[in-house]
Structure 1
């Protein structure tokens, strides 16, 4: 199956772990894409200033680190 793909780049190992945990948790509880509304917060797109005007997906952790 092919579809859209996203390249994620974390600042450090802790950021990678945050992404993995968030994605795994979300896949366990997520509704079918056709049945759920689009998210309105926690994620936003910003321009990275690249020549190609690429966009970077920024992630704000949902829970504070312990």
Structure 2
């Protein structure tokens, strides 16, 4: 996951090969995004998401 202040520019960079890490996987198509007004809210959302990913699907496992 990553964040940017300009989503259109960032997608353009990925699709034109300007982002080296993803240039060989072009073209990119945006299927989902989340927008936050405050960076503090973004940090909380990222923390919650990370906890959900680390949590086992079956309790006790």
Given the two structures, how large is their TM-score scaled by the length of structure 1? Answer: 0.36
The structure with the largest strand share of the pair is 1
Highest CA radius of gyration, 1 or 2? 2
| Larger relative contact order, structure 1 or 2 (CA cutoff 8 Å, min sep 6) | 1
More helix by share: 2
